[in-house]
Chain A
Amino acid sequence: MPAPSTTEAARRNRNLCAIGGGVLLVAVLALLPGVASPYTLTMILPVFAYAIALLGLNLLFGTSGLLSFGHALFLAIGAYAAAVMTGHWGVKSLELVLLGGIAAAVVVAIPVGFLSVRYTRIFFGMLTLSFGMLFHSFLIKFYNVTGGDTGMSVKRVRLLGLDLSHLSRVEFQTGPLYYYALVLVIAATLLMWRIVQSPFGLHLRAQRDNARKAEYLGVRVHAFRLAAFVLSAAYGAVAGVLLAVRSGNADPELAYWTHSGELVFMTVLGGFASFVGPLVGAFAFIFLRDWLMGMTEFWRLAMGGILVLVVIFVPRGLAGLAADATTRLRNQFDLRSRR
């Protein structure tokens, strides 16, 4: 049959393009510490962290059709897990802290997800928002455990067993931690890419488009939504650990609903349809905010205005815009080469 084979070729072609673009992007990011200022580099570290969180959020929103307004809950859990493990338990290895953060997020996500995934749209959003606020209140009120509104400090960790305590804070962040986080972003992206392309991912998309129809085709709608929820929570925890290790602090504001809102903002900004969307969204958000904060005290107003413009004029986000542009270029190139 000629039809499937040409589409197979097209798919391979598209994959090759994606891989090429990805390698190029990684190369630029890997070479950045040689050129960029330490200030810029310390801002890119949270970009990496948020990119990982947004990959998880995209699985929920883009692939499964569930928009969480409380996803910051899991970033906070990752951050506080890092604080407890490094501060109280004396854990030094970042790998163990990451695993601990993921485990904590999974333990919380299972009951929260179990209750939330029975609903969709605004009801799902409101439920996740409530759980986020619940955790925020817990962090503020249980002062003895969580340090209240001052939060908890996170000790310097070892990367792959290497003791890096001789490095200054900036050296640590712009050198070893930068590359560590970059590798995590790559691994998280590849893993998520695999999952979205899998039969599991296909069933998630089917239930997103039409849950009832999907059920009658044997799709385990609630179970699969829960799995996606738990997975995205784990991604959120990894991001939270990275943020806390970078700042040296776990702060209750991490769980606040505005932080969840920022995650949604970044998702919209980057676009939720592609795998560079999270990185683009996080990058654009963080540098835009930094730039606007330096310009005006009304930066929130400006950010709000930009969000409105993005939703109206670039509904598929900056990554979608870039994808459209490359398609247009390629089409033009094809036309010219055919002449």
Chain B
Amino acid sequence: MTSALIEVKSASRTFGSFTALAPIDLAISSGEFVAIVGPNGAGKTTLVNLLTGLLRPSTGSVTFKGQDVSRLGPVRLARMGMARGFQLVTVFPELTVAETIAVAAFSRLGRAHHWFSSAHSDGDINGRVARVADAFGLTDRLEQPARLLAQGEKKLLDVASAFALEPEVILLDEPTSGVSTADKHAIMQTLVIASEKMGVKAVVLIEHDMDLVATYAGRIVGLHAGRVIADRPKNDFFTDAEVVAMVVGRPPKGFH
């Protein structure tokens, strides 16, 4: 497939004698919303870390737009249009919400090396910050230090800052973990709307909650014990009782 943004070719990852991920093939193209599901220890985070170059594959290769991800490093990946969120909330505790989003906006516009201009009075940046904050409902929090935010807001800020890179592909590792069910749907809806608004071409999402996956994802990759046991469109995935049982243990509401 030539249109694939991310291409995984028989990439595996071992930690010592432990195989976290057996060799897998995966291609993610423009227009896809891919959910990676599986029980704890199935290798989901390892896979995202391979996709974002945080881990080097033990065998095989991972490419983004045809370039080897592990050689690019996070900074170049960000420039090329890949952004990621983290499973554990990772914000900048002492930076305000506006500043956090501005960090991404400055690197997006290539203005980070400006030493003598004020970071607070750049009109382009402030405009972008306002747009992203608005999309994620953080407008009221703009001047608050990130450490004072509620847990759900920190999650949103982590994702919002990734969106401020205006990426083509965004990878999110459980953006809704540790958030109430009602908030989960709110976060996902925000995410989907923001993706459309900002022209994100592909979303890769790790998620535990099968209701969310069934509602929002278009394609599902099921992992079990470091192997891909299914890689199908959503509807084909949930009709296969055996696969669902292996990755979930139960089918989601509305799919029987």
| With A200-B115, A202-B99: A217-B161 Cβ-Cβ less than 8 Å | yes
A7 to B145 Cα, complex, angstroms? 13
B49-90: CB near A (< 8 Å → 1, else 0) gives: 000101000000000000000000111011100011010001
Instruction: Choose one: B74, B118, B130; the contact of A4 (CB below 8 Å).
Output: B130
Contacts A197-B119, A209-B95, A218-B75: A203 and B139 contacting too (C-beta < 8 A)?
A: no
Q: If the complex has contacts A199-B112, A201-B119, are A206 and B95 also in contact, measured as CB distance less than 8 A?
A: yes
| Residues from chain B with Cβ under 8 Å of A210 in the complex | 90-93
B107 A218 Cβ-Cβ under 8 A: yes
B103, A203: Cβ atoms closer than 8 Å: yes
Q: Is the CB of B142 within 8 A of A219?
A: no
Distance A219 CA – B158 CA, assembled complex (angstroms):
15
Residue-wise, chain A 193-232 has the 8 Å CB interface mask toward B (1 for contact) of 0110111111101101110111111111100100000000
Closest to A212 in B: B90
Chain A residues within 8 Å of B84, by CB: 216
Chain A 1-38 near chain B by CB (<8 Å), digits 1 or 0:
10110010001000000000000000000000000000
A38 CB, nearest partner CB in chain B, Å: 38
Alpha-carbon separation in the docked complex, A4 to B86 (Å): 28
Which residues of chain A are near B74, meaning CB under 8 Å?
212, 215-216, 218
Q: How far is the CB of B193 from chain A (nearest CB, A)?
A: 20
| B255 on interface, CB distance cutoff 8 Å | no
Which of A7, A199, A216 is the one whose CB lies under 8 Å from B106?
Answer: A199
B118–A197 CB distance below 8 A: yes
Q: Closest chain B residue to A224 by CB distance?
A: B112
Q: A194-B116, A197-B120, A199-B114 are in contact. Are A217 and B107 (CB under 8 A)?
A: yes
Q: Point out the residues of chain B lying under 8 angstroms from A221, CB to CB.
A: 75
The total number of A-B Cβ pairs within 8 Å is: 122
Which of A199, A217, A219 touches B119 (beta carbons < 8 Å)? A199
How far, in whole Å, are A221 and B107 apart by their CA atoms in the complex? 12
- Determine if A202 and B75 form an interchain contact, defined as CB atoms under 8 angstroms apart: no
B93 and A3 form a contact (CB under 8 A): no
- Please indicate the chain B residues that have their CB under 8 angstroms from the CB of A194 in the complex: 115-116, 118
Interface of A is mostly: helix
Query: Are A214's CB and B103's CB within 8 A?
Result: yes
Are B95 and A205 within 8 A (Cβ)? yes
Query: CA A58 – CA B105 in complex, angstroms?
Result: 26
Interface residues as binary, A167-208 with B (CB distance below 8 Å gives 1, 0 otherwise): 000000000000000000000000000110111111101101
Q: How far is the CB of A8 from chain B (nearest CB, A)?
A: 8
Residues of B within 8 A of A219 (CB): 75, 103, 107, 112
Smallest Cβ-Cβ distance to B108: which chain A residue:
A218
Chain B residue nearest to A222 (CB atoms) is: B75
User: Are B114 and A217 in touch, CB under 8 angstroms?
Assistant: no
Which one of B75, B86, B94, B114 lies within 8 Å of A205 (CB-CB)?
Answer: B94
B102 at the interface (CB under 8 A from A): yes
Contact call B107/A216, Cβ cutoff below 8 A = no
In the complex, B47 has a CB within 8 A of chain A: no
- Residues of chain B lying within 8 A (CB to CB) of residue A206: 92, 95, 99-100, 103
Task: Give chain A residues whose Cβ lies under 8 Å from the Cβ of B240.
Answer: none
- Report whether A214 and B92 are in contact in the complex, using a CB–CB cutoff of 8 Å: yes
Contact B112–A7 (Cβ < 8 Å)? no
B94 and A218 within 8 A (CB): no
| Shortest Cβ gap from B161 to chain A (Å) | 6
Chain A residues whose C-beta falls within 8 Å of the C-beta of B253 in the assembled complex: none
**Whole-angstrom distance from the CB of A40 to the nearest CB of chain B?**
36
A217 touches B104 (CB 8 A): yes
Inside 8 A of A209's CB, which chain B residues have their CB?
91-95
B130 contacts across to A, CB distance below 8 A:
1, 4
Given contacts A205-B92, A209-B94, contact A1 B119 (CB under 8 A): no
Q: Does B140 contact A (CB under 8 A)?
A: yes
| Among A7, A198, A216, contact of B117 (Cβ-Cβ < 8 Å) | A198
B111 contacts the other chain (Cβ, under 8 Å)?
Answer: yes
Write the nearest CB–CB distance from A15 to chain B, whole angstroms. 10
Q: Are A213 and B86 in contact (CB under 8 A)?
A: yes
Q: Does B162 contact A (CB under 8 A)?
A: yes
Closest to A213 in B: B90
> Closest approach, in angstroms, between the C-beta of A125 and any C-beta of chain B?
20
A199 near B111 (CB under 8 angstroms)?
yes
Contact (A218, B165) CB under 8 Å given A3-B139, A202-B103 = yes
A221 to B52, CA, bound (A): 17
Contact A213 B91 (CB under 8 A): yes
Contact in complex: A213, B92 (CB < 8 Å) = yes
Kindly state the separation between the CA atoms of A314 and B122 in the bound complex, as whole angstroms.
36
Closest beta carbon of chain B to A229's beta carbon, Å: 15
A-B contact pairs, 9 of them (CB 8 A): A3-B140, A199-B111, A199-B117, A200-B112, A202-B119, A210-B91, A218-B74, A218-B165, A219-B107
Given A197-B119, A202-B95, A218-B74, 14 extra CB contacts under 8 A: A4-B126, A195-B115, A197-B118, A198-B114, A198-B115, A198-B118, A203-B112, A206-B103, A209-B91, A217-B104, A217-B164, A218-B107, A218-B108, A221-B75
* Nearest 3 Cβ contacts at the A-B interface: A218-B107, A218-B78, A209-B92
